[in-house]
Amino acid sequence: MGLLSLGTPLPWAEAQPLASFVRDEGIEQLINIYSRCKDKQGDVLLWGDELEYMVVSLDKSAKTARLSLRQAEILEQLAQKEAQGSLGPVTYHPEYGRFMLEATPAAPFTGAPTDLLNVQPNMQLRRSIARKNLLPNEVPLTVTSYPRLGVVNSPFTEPFYPPNGPAARSDFLPDEVINPHARFPTLTANIRTRRGSKVSIDVPIFVDSQTPRPFVDHGPENYIHMDAMGFGMGCCCLQLTFQATNITEARTLYDQLAPLAPLMLALTAASPAYRGYLSDQDTRWNVISGAVDDRTPWERGLVPPPEGFTTDNSDVVIPKSRYDSVDSYLAQDPVLLADEAHYNDTKLVVNKRALKRLDDAGFDPLLAQHFAHLFIRDPIVIFRELLHQDNSTSADHFENIQSTNWQTLRFKPPPPGSDIGWRVEFRPMEVQATDFENAAFTVFIVLLTRVILSYKLNFYMPISKVDENMRVAHHRDAVLNETFWFRKNVQRDSPKEYTKLSLDALVNGSDEFPGFIPLIRRFLAATSVDLDTLCELSKYLSLVSKRASGALPTNASWIRQFVTSHEDYKQDSAISESVNYALMSELDRLTQADTPPGGT
Ligand code: GLU
Ligand code: MG
């Protein structure tokens, strides 16, 4: 989750006065990158995935599951082996939670369809190496939200620590769940300090026959309450990054993937439980959104700004958290340019100073407003030693703002001093329990990007409708019960008409809509992919297809079903220690066999 700079992180009182300086320098760094790389051509399609894991410690005799806080030792051990060259084509990274690991392929995959068949084996290798470097009772699970993170009066970490540390001041989470690298506790404390209060997240309770009515937790009635960054950034996901052949293609990819984000969030839904309760929603997104919401009360529109308040932003009120869906399209696409106000139809707050500078530097309006929008945020963590940089070789200040805008997509300029091209990161998907499933969703999205670019598909629709889909994607069993806005006709020159379709229709096609999988199959049939490869790819497409049609449950639906049908469950929405242990053990079993919960 962003760069790990070394140095002394400044507390908020010292960081805030430097915010404008960091933004100004960051914009200069961006301008330098842009002028160097805007005409960079001929980069090849490369892509990679990131998987996030929780290390869970299972005690078979006590029948307990705990989050293991050994991230540092585990990563240290893996790094040593990597340095000796004994890991193979995989690599491991830290994450926010001290119980988390992240793993990626060591080198990116290529666009060759046969490379798509390397994804699952690579994911399996990542997991098996991780497992070998854990204690015998620890297991690496790709669980999106840990059901008992933050339960009261019962340990959920190994070792146990009481809550209420100086960084999060949480009533539920100890600061010891946070990666101890200075960046993370400082992010946590500075988000809280900037906001002026602890973060506050309320998720609706899933009401069962014995659930107390009203259900009273620590927040509003009938909601599960959370109060720390760790509840959000302690969630795991599956992300994909694509290198485009040039900036134009990267901008196209960004725009066309934006309307897909909510659909993929709903399809991969895997997080139906928080703080020991089943929730009435299936995805993590709004939890993380709330968990890093550093907006002040006036930026949230709750109170007028303090007297004498000034800002470079075009408005005091900022409608969304730093972690949220994207706010504007940015491609130089005739469809968009012909009717920009129709598609970019929500209020876009920009940093006026940044906008002017980018404008002067020759950025076109869409690209300038994209970055000027990201630059409405303050840099949360500033390292004293890194304040003064050479803007022609460094991107540190730019990245400070860029990498703490956690949106459904990230448009990534080439890092200075590398031969990496323009990239787009696809960030909404929830991590799936097994490598097969993670590979399936990865293959599906990679192929869909090929289809979008080859057929020049047109998924443009007003951003407000994408946002509406985003809200709907959280609903319990959204795949089965909800419909989503989409462009009626996805041809280039089609009229601006939108319709609400089920995920089944969108993915599998219907009388009204061609369907992503039929489009992918048509694309594959037209390429020279051999039969064996096609057959293998079909297994992945089939899983996605059945998830979309409801023939197979999402992870969220499967977890809810597992909990509610367990003999120890009391129909009261609570996930007890023994039910959680059973769930984690079953997930471990399925993961080792690489057979998806709910079947294939
Ligand atoms: N774990 C976060 C999520 O579930 C993403 C952190 C990152 O950007 O690496 O979305
Ligand atoms: Mg990550």
Q: Each residue's pLDDT tens digit in the chain (600 positions)?
A: 655 667 899 999 999 999 999 999 999 999 999 999 999 998 888 999 999 999 999 999 999 999 999 999 999 999 999 999 989 999 999 999 999 999 999 999 998 888 999 999 999 999 999 999 999 999 999 999 999 999 998 999 999 999 999 999 999 999 999 999 999 999 999 999 999 999 999 999 999 999 999 999 999 999 999 999 999 999 999 999 999 999 999 999 999 999 999 999 999 999 999 999 999 999 999 999 999 999 999 999 999 999 999 999 999 999 999 999 999 999 999 999 999 999 999 999 999 999 999 999 999 999 999 999 999 999 999 999 999 999 999 999 999 999 999 999 999 999 999 999 999 999 999 999 999 999 999 999 999 999 999 999 999 999 999 999 999 999 999 999 999 999 999 999 999 999 999 999 999 999 999 999 999 999 999 998 999 999 999 999 999 999 999 999 999 999 999 999 999 999 999 999 999 999 999 999 999 999 999 999
Instruction: Report how far residue 585's alpha carbon sits from residue 499's, in angstroms, rounded to the nearest whole number.
Output: 42
Q: What is the model's pLDDT at position 495?
A: 97
**What's the 561 CA to ligand 2 centre distance in angstroms?**
28
Question: CA 208 to CA 377: how far, in whole Å?
Answer: 41
Please give the backbone phi and psi of residue 576, each rounded to the nearest 5 degrees, phi first.
-75, 170
What are phi and psi for residue 126, nearest 5 degrees? -55, -45
Unique residue bearing structure tokens 């499967």: 558
Ligand 1 centroid from CA 290, angstroms:
13
Instruction: Enter the DSSP assignment of 217.
Output: -
Q: Whose CA is nearest to atom 7 of ligand 1?
A: 1
138-141/46-59 β-pairing: antiparallel
Cβ proximity of 215 and 222 under 8 Å:
yes
Say if residues 265 and 469 touch (Cβ distance below 8 Å): no
User: Side-chain half-sphere of 533: how many Cα atoms within 13 Å?
Assistant: 16
What local confidence, expressed as pLDDT, does residue 451 receive? 97
pLDDT at position 42: 83
Nearest ligand 1 atom to the CA of 285 is: 10
CA of 39 to the centre of ligand 1 (A): 31
List of domains in the chain: 1-38+140-600 (3.30.590.50)
Ligand closest to Cα of 289 equals 1
Q: Which two tokens stand for residue 77?
A: 């051990």
Buried b (16+ CB within 10 A) or exposed e, 342-366: ebbbeebbbbebbbebbeeeebeeb
What is the CA angle 374-259-376, rounded to 5? 10
Q: Shortest CA distance to 81 belongs to which of 68, 90, 71, 72?
A: 90
Q: Which amino acid is at 83?
A: A
Q: How far apart are CA 501 and CA 120, in angstroms?
A: 31
Strand partners, 306: none
Contact 71, 130 (CB under 8 A): no
**What pLDDT sits at residue 359?**
98
pLDDT score recorded for residue 112:
87
Q: Atom 6 (ligand 1): residue with closest C-alpha?
A: 1
Report the alpha-carbon distance of residue 535 to residue 210 in Å, rounded.
47
In the block, tokens 């499933």 appear at 437
Q: Among candidates 516, 271, 254, which has minimal Cα distance to 408?
A: 254
End-to-end, the C-alpha distance of the chain in Å comes to 31
Mutating to test ligand 1, I would choose from 50, 95, 427, 470 the residue with most ligand atoms within 8 A of its C-beta, which is 427
Q: Give dist(CA 582, CA 65) in Å, integer.
A: 9
Q: What is the CA radius of gyration of the chain?
A: 23
Atom of ligand 1 nearest to the CA of 428: 10
Q: Is the peptide bond before 9 cis (omega within 30 degrees of 0)?
A: no
Helix (H) / strand (E) containing 277:
strand 277-278
**Contacts for 299 with CB less than 8 Å, ≥ 6 apart:** 316, 317, 318
Query: Which atom of ligand 1 lies nearest, measured to the CA of 95?
Result: 9
- For residues 381-401, b (16+ Cβ closer than 10 Å) or e, as one string? bbbeebeebebeebbbbbbbb
- Of 51, 93, 229, 239, the one to substitute when testing ligand 1's pocket (max ligand atoms within 8 A of C-beta) is 239
> Ligand 1 centroid vs 323 CA: distance in angstroms?
9
SS3 at position 60: coil
How many angstroms is it from 92 CA to the middle of ligand 2? 10
Percentages (nearest 5) of helix, strand, coil residues in the chain: 40, 15, 45
What's the CA-to-centroid distance between 308 and ligand 2, angstroms?
39
Pocket residues: Cβ below 6 A from ligand 1 = 1, 52, 233, 235-237, 284, 288, 406
pLDDT value for 499: 98
Query: Cα dihedral sign for 199, 200, 203, 208?
Result: positive
Instruction: Name the residue with tokens 């197979």.
Output: 552
Separation CA 572–CA 326 (nearest Å) = 37
CA of 237, nearest ligand number:
1
What is the 452 CA–ligand 1 centroid distance (Å)? 25
Backbone φ and ψ for 536, nearest 5 degrees, come out as -65, -45
Q: How many CB atoms lie within 10 A of CB 493?
A: 8
Tokens of 393: 């070789």
Which ligand ends up closest to the CA of 427? 1
SS3 label, residue 595: coil
| Dist. CA 254 → ligand 2 center (Å) | 19
Residues bordering ligand 2, an ion, CB closer than 5 Å = 1, 102
Tokens of 2: 């962003």
